[in-house]
Amino acid sequence: MAQIRGIITPIVTPMREDESIFEEELRNQVRRQIQAGIHGIFPLGTNGEAYILSEKEKEEVLDIVIDEVRGRVPVYAGTGCISTKETIRQSQRAKKQGADILSVITPFFAAASQEELYEHYKAVAAAVKMPIVLYNIPARTGNALAPATVARLSKIENIVGVKDSSGNFDTMLQYIEQTREVEGFHVLSGNDSLILWNLLAGGSGGIAGCANVYPRNMASIYNLYKSGDLDGARKAQDAIRSFRNCFRFGNPNTIVKAAVELLGYPVGKCRAPFNRIPEEGILALKKVLEENTCRGLN
């Protein structure tokens, strides 16, 4: 079973001007991430714009990533949909394509009870026998996974972890506390500012959008922590603050993709209509990127 640990990059989906998938640049971004020492690649996440890709495009992106990774790091495939039936179908397809781990976001749009969420994930796990990481991001889905529900789900053999993007450290802490005794269950931070604190509390790392911009720095948070260099890990964690402050100018994944483009990689814009950043935001982003480049951040 693939190890769930470290810093996993929810890789952006490069697009041409006509919004078609830019395969060559996607391959280049995979190589860039692996060369920087990242511990996993996660296509079809929020930063990968899975919410706006067609099923055919999702299949294409996952095929490209798996082919380019060539087993060097685990590939996490985002397969969560609104319905249980569709989530199972897309998860089975990802398994057939060769993904190592599934990341399954909670159902969205319609409100779900905790029992409905439990039964949803239980059914997916029964139908797709491969490692599954739960994905909690209530600000985007409207449905939050309660710590007690995560604790129940952690007892299902192939549900092996949870990514918490709630931004509420206490929620993530309760995930850790309530699954600490479950062997092989991992809690990952989906908030880049909380990765070191996740590790200190007993978590396993993070799925970090900022790794698209600063992969070497993000990977070093985990590596330095594991080597016992807590001061170095804290400096690497603190180093992304100025960049994250730019999130106030737009969607975080829109800011991340724009930053990668400004660094000279032709990943294009996010797919319309989620691609607008005000001029003051672009100027602030350019200033932060330039300052961080001068500091050697990469």
Residues acting as catalytic residues: 135, 163
Q: Which two tokens stand for residue 198?
A: 């996740």
DSSP character string of 148-206: HHHHHHTTSTTEEEEEE-S--HHHHHHHHHHHTTSTT-EEEESSGGGHHHHHHHT--EE
Is 42 within 8 Å of 11 (Cβ atoms)?
yes
Question: How many other β-carbons are positioned within 10 Å of the β-carbon of residue 110?
Answer: 10
Question: How many other β-carbons are positioned within 10 Å of the β-carbon of residue 290?
Answer: 11
Return the ∠ at Cα 99 (arms to 174 and 10), rounded to 5°. Answer: 55
Largest CA distance in the chain: 51
Distance CA 282, CA 129 (A): 44
Q: Which two tokens stand for residue 145?
A: 């996974």
Q: Tell me the C-alpha to C-alpha distance, in Å, between residue 217 and each of 164, 176, 240.
A: 21, 25, 9
Is 4 within 8 Å of 39 (Cβ atoms)?
no
Is 246 within 8 Å of 260 (Cβ atoms)?
no
- Cα atoms in the 13 Å half-sphere on the side-chain side of 73: 27
Q: Is 130 helix (H, G, I), strand (E, B) or coil?
A: coil
Is 223 within 8 Å of 229 (Cβ atoms)?
no
